[in-house]
Chain A
Amino acid sequence: MSRRRVGLAFEVLSVMLVAIFLFTACAGGAAPAQPAAGKQPAAEKPAAEKPAAEKPAAKRKIVWMVRTNVVENPWEQNIVKPAFEKENPDITLDILIIDQPDIAVKREAMIAAGEQLDVWSTNWGGDGFASDRYRGLIMNLTPLIERDNLDMSVFIPEVLKIYNIEGKQWGLPLLTTGSYVFYNMKLFDEAGLPYPPTDWEDKSWTWDRMLDLAKKLTKNYDDPTKAQYGWIENRQNIEGPAMLFGKFPWPEGTYETGFAKSINLTDPVTIDAYQKHHDLIYVHKVQPDAAASEALSQLGGAFESGRVAMYETGGWGWWIFSRIKPDVEGGFCWGVAPLPWGTPDANIRAVIYTDPWVITRGLKGQELEDAWTFVKFLVREDNARSYMKATNTPPTQKKLQEEWFQQFECMKPEQVKEVYQGAFRHGLESSNHLLVRWDELNQIWSNALDAYFNDPNGKASDVLPQLEKDLTEALQRIADEEGYKFQ
């Protein structure tokens, strides 16, 4: 029996070795690897036809990779492509449209194979900006900006700064947004409560004030099918809850280098902050538990359902909620407020999310020129405006902002301006764009925090010390594996 098994293993190994040998021998021989060219059966004629790419290149092309999006895609295909090709008749713009969770699969394959890929956005799929910069995937645009004297003063300075590391500009921002509290005016009116403020400096807009409102706006908490919730927060990053209470857990300089030696989650204020968020669910009962939250925010629309009075989330609400109209069946008026003050010193408390256009590193000559022409085209005022108009997303340019403020039905332009811009003075870019191998860290804290927020008896003081230890260990391992030396 055992002799037979050895024999079988030997046979398998031999066959594999022969196969490997044959394959490598053939692949090594012919340059465009067609190892079995001599043995092609008749069925497979198409293989013999000459590659189309060999034709005399009359037109140059640019390959632009974007995400699937029912509002962005029509803009890209029906506005950008014709306009750009009209201006640049000798260039064809190829648009690759891919669902965001799957973008990395195709992008990494294209890069590994050296297929043409010119312009894309680092934060769509994969790990994010920091990883792409660190492994040398994207191009420093500063020399091009300086050569062409591109006017950078059109951009909101805080937003431009995010992708400027050590004096090098790695991308040009296409959309940006802070974090806000979106609120349902109809529910406030029904309860006879005043709306929250729009001024980020308004010190009366405290955590306790928010909690007080949330309690008054919560109804039928125990029956999820009938409940109305005072508050739901969309936790995205580990620093968010702590920042609300004036603590920033990452060491200084983390966002420039993309690496951190440690994280501080055991500060009493941070622990208290996480406990307060937990209490919203299990003590004050103004926020649904994780299961109901997810059902409401991922499967349905928590806010769109009209069952949440206040919804704390990233600023995508500005454009996603634009489909809620007061005059349509089931619709209502909504407003936007700053994040509340957890403590009086929580000056920087909003997480900002900004997406940049980048160019693949290693492009040369004409291809680089074409890609750069296209990026400049994308950030030019008229095209940034058409993007803003098509998608309702907030612009990254000062002049366009004024136009964007005009479009909200239930808020006055000056209110929109006040609350929208305040987030940038009181915010920091999200760690998910600025940490190398953020996804791995996210996996660690998501697993720990999801369990914590699912557990009615969870104690922040039990969970956070362990999480701090795990994260610090991971941070050091990541730096080690990526060959980064701390100063």
Chain B
Amino acid sequence: MVRILPKGKLARREALWFYFFIAPWIIGFLWFTGGPIVASFYLSFTKYNAANPPKWIGFTNYVRLVHDRIFYKSLKVSAYYTFLSVPLGITASLALALLLNQRVPFLGVYRTLYYLPSVITGVAVALLFQWLLNPSFGIVNYVISWLLGPKGVIPLGITGPKWFFDTKWVIPAYVLLSLWGLGGPMLIYLAGLQGVPTALYEAATIDGANAWHRFRHVTLPMISPVILFTFITGIIGSFQIFTQAYVISNGNGGPAYASMFYVLYLYLNAFRRYRFGYAAAQAWILFLVILGLTVLMLRLSRQVVYYEAPGEEEAI
């Protein structure tokens, strides 16, 4: 069985303190979060439509999922979206944070401006982007054809794609939408940059390191724990993207299922078709996928992420 407490006296005391500090979380987990999670696991083995009590059906939901073409499609769509949006989002927001950590006049105003979009949420943003990216009336395509169109400044004959109406462009369109919320991770990086000891930069500069070297060998290692955070939470979040797709695709995940995100399909099964058991089975498969990715990331990150705290040799 698991040893809750280690042998040595000092180590035991430290372990007790550890449990003291995380006690609020354990209480909250037992009280609020854990129960519903366990319940959803149970429901995944039942047929449940909310109007009648759940009926145990064993692995039927999982078996049906294996034969569900849309299920595979939705997993692919979400994986593709994650693959595009997470690295892009991290790079862009880190660049933004570095930019807004320079000596820029009215720095506060700029920071506020860039943060602003991440506060405008929900349906309004989805509609905004439907309008911006509309192939006929949207400003984005207008600018593209003004610049590169047949009669444009640089006449390359390029006109904008059909974005949300094109199976190939619909996911990039959602990625653009996600980039609008850069302000959130930017804030995290800005806070992280505050923790980089100035002395390190000074020492590096005196030694003649240029900007790139300072970034590569001082900034990056020092904020690597925060980058790991944005990576993992980014993956967790983008696999669960829902609201935008629900609004923009009208709950259909079109065209031709190209925007049938995993959780959109899950939601439809739960709240439009009242197959709560089936949806729960979907959720637990997703759980395993994300958990696997997270553990993988944590393992890989040991080589590159720099920690100060005690026990980092074994920390995940």
Residues of A within 8 A of B (CB): 8, 10-11, 14-15, 19-20, 22-24, 26-27, 33-36, 39, 41, 101, 104-105, 108, 111-112, 126-127, 131-132, 135-137, 224-225, 288-292, 294-295, 298-299, 361, 437, 439-440, 442-443, 446-448, 450-451, 454, 481
Contacts and interface: CB of A to CB of B under 8 A. Distances in A.
A135 B274 contact: yes
B262 interface: no
Contact of A291 (B52, B134, B257): B134
B253 interface: yes
B49 interface: yes
B24 A41 contact: yes
Contact of A104 (B38, B51, B167, B272): B272
Given A27-B35, A135-B49, A19 B253 contact: no
B289 to A, nearest CB: 16
- Most chain A CB within 10 A, of B51, B138, B254, B275, is at B51
Contact of B34 (A23, A34, A105, A290): A23
Contact of B165 (A22, A26, A34, A291): A291
Contacts of B134: 291, 294-295, 299
Contacts of A35: 30-31
A127 B274 contact: yes
B131 A295 contact: yes
Nearest to B38: A20
Given A442-B252, A450-B255, A451-B256, 15 more contacts: A20-B34, A27-B35, A33-B35, A36-B31, A108-B50, A108-B270, A127-B272, A137-B51, A291-B165, A295-B136, A299-B127, A299-B131, A447-B257, A454-B162, A481-B275
Contacts of A454: 162, 165-166, 255
Size class of the contact patch on chain B: 35 or more
B252 A292 contact: no
Contacts of B30: 19, 22-23, 26, 35-36
Contact of A11 (B2, B35, B136, B268): B2
A437 B270 CA distance: 11
A24 B41 CA distance: 14
Contact of A292 (B127, B137, B247): B137
A328 to B, nearest CB: 24
Contact of B256 (A33, A137, A447): A447
Given A299-B130, A447-B256, A450-B255, A19 B273 contact: no
Nearest to B133: A291
B271 A105 contact: yes
B55 to A, nearest CB: 10
B135 interface: yes
Contacts of B51: 111, 132, 135-137, 361
B248 to A, nearest CB: 10
Contacts of A288: 136
Interface in B252-298: 252-257, 268, 270-276, 295
A36 B25 CA distance: 12
B246 interface: yes
Contacts of A298: 130
Interface string B20-31: 000110010111
B304 to A, nearest CB: 17
11 contacts: A19-B29, A36-B30, A41-B24, A41-B27, A101-B246, A105-B271, A112-B50, A136-B52, A299-B131, A440-B272, A447-B255
B293 to A, nearest CB: 15
Given A291-B165, A443-B253, A446-B254, A23 B127 contact: no
A127 B272 CA distance: 5
Interface string B70-98: 10000000000000000000000000000
Contacts of B211: none
B1 interface: yes
Contacts of A20: 34, 38
A295 B137 contact: yes
Contacts of A299: 127, 130-131, 134, 137
A294 B274 CA distance: 29
A383 to B, nearest CB: 29
A290 to B, nearest CB: 6
B52 A126 contact: no
Given A22-B30, A35-B30, A440 B273 contact: yes
Contacts of B52: 135-136
Contacts of A15: 2
B252 A450 contact: yes
A289 B276 CA distance: 37
B76 to A, nearest CB: 15
A448 B162 CA distance: 17
B171 to A, nearest CB: 15
A108 B43 CA distance: 15
Interface in B13-48: 23-24, 27, 29-31, 34-35, 38
B139 to A, nearest CB: 12
Contacts of A224: 136-137
Given A11-B2, A41-B24, A447-B252, A108 B137 contact: no
A136 B50 CA distance: 10
